[in-house]
Structure 1
Amino acid sequence: MTTSLESHPIHTWLTDMDGVLVHEESALPGAPEFIAALQQYGRPFLVLTNNSIFTPRDLRARLARSGIDLPEESIWTSALATARFLAEQQPGASAYVIGEAGLTTAIHDEGFILADSDVEFVVLGETRTYSFESIARAIRLIKGGAKFIATNPDVTGPSAEGPLPATGSVAAMITAATGIHPYYVGKPNPLMMRTALNRIGGHSETSVMIGDRMDTDVKSGLEAGMRSILVLTGSTDVDEIAQFPFRPTAVLDGIADVVPFVERLTPHEAVELDED
């Protein structure tokens, strides 16, 4: 089956990180070449992640160790998107934050006051040290009227030992105790795609989202009005695609297969992409 990847010129590229560019601490085949091609041809791009634990500086160092060289300004996390969203909603408000440096730094840098009482928002992110005390405080604050925000709905995260409970799991616990569901900012909310595009001056009709998950990457790209590429080096097998009521624009084996299109898909070309 052949489908047009470029119904409009491609000016801007967004890509997920884990499962697309890296697996654990190793670069996936073609990832360094993909980033190098974007830089060589002057294509605006951002690397996206739902992980709110790390700052862009931390993530840049992780990518550099794997052989992928890019500036920290080219990394957009769910923590940054959440902080930007809150700043647009209620600038200078106070928030009780459960998370690590990636989230607390982002919230603080947007001018928020971090507090543990009389706050406007409870902001939940991912951490490897969830405590009963912090969860109990969040429940009391939400019951008292604080608005409940979470960085992303992922219920588990990867580790060398196997899956770990993530933001969505802890959010479900708080929801069960309060009856209040959080507003999730990260993927699959298309808000994260739009804030990313705004950051680099992109437009949905001339942008592409690359990911390894149908339920987050492809869905959020679709709902933001973007074309999407699913790569099969992460969470989704090709046989699982049919389970979803939507389709990516193209399916490729890995990011190495995207590299030629960075060069070929200029704003003046339209090519047909063979999915088989």
Structure 2
Amino acid sequence: MKPYGTYIFDIDGTLIRGNEALLGAVETLKHLRETNTQILLVTNNPAETKGEISKRLNQIGFEIRKQEIITPIDALKIYFQNHQPTILAITNNSIKEEMRNLGWQVVSEYTNSLPISYVLMGMSQEITYKDFVEGVRALDNGASLLGMNPDLFCPTQEGRVPDTGALLSCLELSTGQKATIVGKPTKWMRRAILSAIHHPVSQSVFIGDSPYTDLAMGVELGMDTVLLHTGITKYKNVELIHQPTRLLNDLQELYEAING
């Protein structure tokens, strides 16, 4: 395998499943760190802040800094550039707080007295039926629908759970409005990644388990790609629209290829 200056990894289904590191993941990142290779983690995780993600990864055994993580919030910053949106957020409370810290007006309920610019959906175990009702009301009164990521499910230790893409369908079907997605593999996430890499795309590689988000993101960036059989393809047969540069079972095979 040719050497790269920047290695970009997806997280869930690539490095970890739930709170367990996948085979070869810790060793691969440790080796890259020791060789002064740039590491970036680009996730569609809509439920955790960078601080929460880095803390969880470090507890598992990785050594990750917050500034090495790119999330849909980074894509939202680009999407809302030069705007001061009012957002009805159907997300975890920590995500709402992170958006407020960016200076955005974030609410959890629709009222006639406050025009809502956007209804933002992100996978959350805190979501209730009332949240969907509030979202429909805001959309019926002129708000635009945003999704933090398009993923239909997320792999966990216990199996898979519905992700943002599946939850968005309820609002889309109820209102007839199609959501705009900001996470991988969109142009807003592409711009967030390009602003963070230290090497040209020709010297960078994108590694993940999803052909729909990770492989597509790498192709959009013009990078080499590595698709792993550790996440999405474990649950469904996938017809690849794009062919990855390398197709591997897991990161143990990548570690061996890097050291081979």
Q: Assess same fold via TM > 0.5.
A: yes
CA drift at 1:161 = 5.0
Instruction: Quote the offset at 1:159 in angstroms.
Output: 4.6
The aligned amino acid for 2:37 is R
Q: In the alignment, does 2:90 pair up with 1:93?
A: no
Matched to 2:125, the amino acid is R
Confirm or deny that 1:219 pairs with 2:216.
Answer: yes
Q: Give the structure 2 partner of residue 247 of structure 1.
A: 243
**Matches of 1:195 and 1:69 in 2, distance apart?**
22
Query: Secondary structure, in 3 states, of the residue corresponding to 1:221?
Result: helix
Instruction: Write the letter of the residue equivalent to 2:171.
Output: I
Describe how 1:165-204 pairs up with structure 2 within 5 A. Answer: 165-204=162-201
Q: Tell me if the contact between 2:75 and 2:192 (Cα under 8 Å) persists in the aligned partners.
A: no
Change in Cα spacing, 1:228 to 1:188, as seen in structure 2 (3 Å) is same
> In the alignment, what sits opposite 1:272?
none
Q: Which residue of 1 aligns with 2:25?
A: 31
Q: 2:38 aligns with which of 38, 44, 49?
A: 44
Once residues 258 and 194 of structure 2 are traced to their aligned partners in structure 1, the CA distance between those partners, rounded to angstroms, is: 18
TM-score under structure 1 length normalisation: 0.82
In structure 1, C-alpha distance between the alignment counterparts of 2:156 and 2:252, rounded to whole Å: 25
Shift of 1:193: 3.5
Q: Output aligned runs, 1:120-159, within 5 Å.
A: 120-159=117-156
SS at match of 1:180: coil
* CA distance in structure 2 between the aligned counterparts of 1:167 and 1:177, rounded to whole angstroms: 16
> Which residue of the partner structure matches residue 109 of structure 1?
101
For the aligned residue pairs, the C-alpha RMSD in angstroms reads 2.4
Higher relative contact order (CA 8 A, sep 6+): 1
Shift of 1:211: 0.6
TM-score for the superposition, normalised by structure 2: 0.86
Distance (Å, rounded) in 2 between the aligned partners of 1:195 and 1:203 = 14
Where 1:171 maps in the other structure, the secondary structure is helix
**1:81–1:192 contact (8 Å) kept in structure 2:** yes
Q: Which runs of 5+ in 2 are unaligned?
A: none
Q: Deviations over 1:38-65 (max 9, x none)?
A: 2222222211221111112211222122
Aligned-residue identity in percent? 26
Q: Could you say what secondary structure the match of 2:252 adopts?
A: helix
Secondary structure at 1:163 match in 2: strand
Work out whether residues 148 and 164 of structure 2, in 8 Å CA contact, stay in contact via their aligned partners in 1. yes
Relative distance call for 1:28 and 1:97 in structure 2 (3 A) is same
Change (3 A) 1:202 1:103: farther
CA deviation after TM superposition for structure 1 residue 218, in Å: 0.7
Q: Distance in 1 between matches of 2:17 and 2:219?
A: 25
Deviation at 1:240, TM superposition (A): 4.7
**Is 1:257 paired with 2:250?**
no
